[in-house]
Amino acid sequence: MSIQISGLRPLQMSIRGNIHYHRGMKIAAAFLLFLLLSSSALSQEHSFGDWVAQLRVEAASLGISAATLEALDDLEEPLPRVLELDSSQPEFVQTFTRYLGLRVTDRQVERGQQLLRQHRALLEEVRQRHGVQPQYLVAFWAIETNFGSNTGGFSVLQALATLAYDPRRAEFFRSQMLTALQIIDDGHISAQNMSGSWAGAMGQLQFMPSVFSLHAVDGDGDGKIDIWNSLPDVFNSAANFLSKSGWKGDERWGREVLLPSDFNFALAGTNSRKSLQQWRDIGLLQTSGAPIPVADMQASVVIPAGAQGPAFLAYDNFRVTRVYNPPIFYALTVGHLADRFAGGPPIQHMPENEQAMSIAQVKELQELLNALDFDSGEPDGRVGSRTRSAIRAYQEQQDLPMDSYASISLLEALRR
């Protein structure tokens, strides 16, 4: 995965459940020991070699062949680089301006348009089969791996073993590891060629093994699912995943809109849904100034950069995009990039000179809110729902637009 952290994708997680075992019973035989201890309890209490040996027993009991399990002989000690990437903390809060700016450039738009033309026949065939429009597939492809050019250089087995041996999310990654072995055992790819991100996301559209096992399909009919090298397999798999998650091939993702000057920001956010007619009645306009088109659809207003930034009306396909990867910025960027590939304009109302807040500044903001009795919880430098509620209550008291948005100007107001 190019930039975002697939290891933290909650909705791609926990698809293949691990069996839970009871702790604490003393048994001599290794096989019974494995049956009676929870898999996560085994992490770190044993050497990595012992852990691999127990994983091998479990994989064999699931029917994975001895030939496939030979790949476990090549595992090295946990990779420090993977653990470092997994626990890295940002210094600044990500802004929509920066997030979008890194992913949507003129060059990237041109490249996407060129690839859309180049693969038109295949992408149309995929649209016929799964009902996902070509420009969206190419947008996911762009953001996930820069059109397949950056699929991550890690051995998936080595990365998953590292994260599964680490106690923090051992169970999830152990389950992914077993599924990865099953994929190899099914003959789709060799262990040596199963490459991916540091978090184990694989191929040109960065599927976790559990997502591969549920949704990847053989697009070119050669009997193997090769999401590393076969574009028919890559596009059909992604489209199948989106389609099964509820994608609607005759709808857009959403659109940029203009909010009325008296807009009540309490209506914004993905938990608040209204019909297009209701939004039109509230006074939302297209960026051209025309009324928003009305169809029998529900939508939410999303404001990724506060009241000063752009506003979007997000439809059902926006919600499906978040099944692929949950962050709001991600889903907005996929949708916008798809629009650009189809010839649409840049976002009209990006904030100018939006400054990123440092984690320290967010902590200060939280402390100042707390001191004024707007409860933002323990200051932790993260803008969560409690902090947003506290900001909103403060904005209400100060008669400011209640966009719940943490910004430097808000911090400066609080300092005064």
Residues that bind Ca ion (CB under 5 A): 218, 220, 222, 224, 230, 233
| Least Cβ distance, residue 128 to Ca ion (angstroms) | 18
Q: Identify residue 352 by its one-letter amino acid code.
A: E
CB of 219 to Ca ion, least distance (A): 6
3-state class percentages of the chain: helix first, strand second, coil last, to nearest 5: 50, 5, 45
Which residue, 208 or 216, has its beta carbon nearer to Ca ion? 216
- CA–CA distance, 164 with 176 (Å, rounded to integer): 9
Rounded to a whole number of angstroms, the minimum distance from the CB of residue 320 to Ca ion is 24
Dist. CA 383–CA 404, nearest whole Å: 10
Least distance to Ca ion, CB of residue 137, Å: 17
Nearest to Ca ion of 229, 272 (CB atom): 229
Cβ proximity to Ca ion: between 185 and 339 the closer is: 185
Q: In the complex, what is the shortest distance from the CB of residue 217 to Ca ion, in angstroms, rounded to a whole number?
A: 8
Return d(Cα 65, Cα 72) in angstroms, integer. Answer: 12
Nearer Cβ to Ca ion (145/230): 230
Taking residue 167's Cβ as centre, other Cβ atoms within 10 Å add up to: 13
Backbone angles phi, psi at 7, to 5 degrees: -60, -20
Contact between 170 and 164 (Cβ < 8 Å): yes
State in angstroms the smallest separation of the CB of 126 from Ca ion.
13
Structure tokens at 311: 């506003």
In the complex, least distance from residue 181 CB atom to Ca ion, rounded to whole angstroms: 20
Q: How far is CA 380 from CA 60, 358, 377, 384, 392, in A?
A: 44, 12, 8, 10, 18
Q: Which is nearer to Ca ion, 175 or 237 (CB)?
A: 237
SS3 243: helix
- Cβ closer to Ca ion: 237 or 404? 237
What b/e sequence results for 24-55 when a residue is b if at least 16 CB atoms lie within 10 Å of its CB, and e otherwise?
eeeeeeeeebbbebbbbbbbeeeebeebbebb
> Which of 224/386 has CB closer to Ca ion?
224
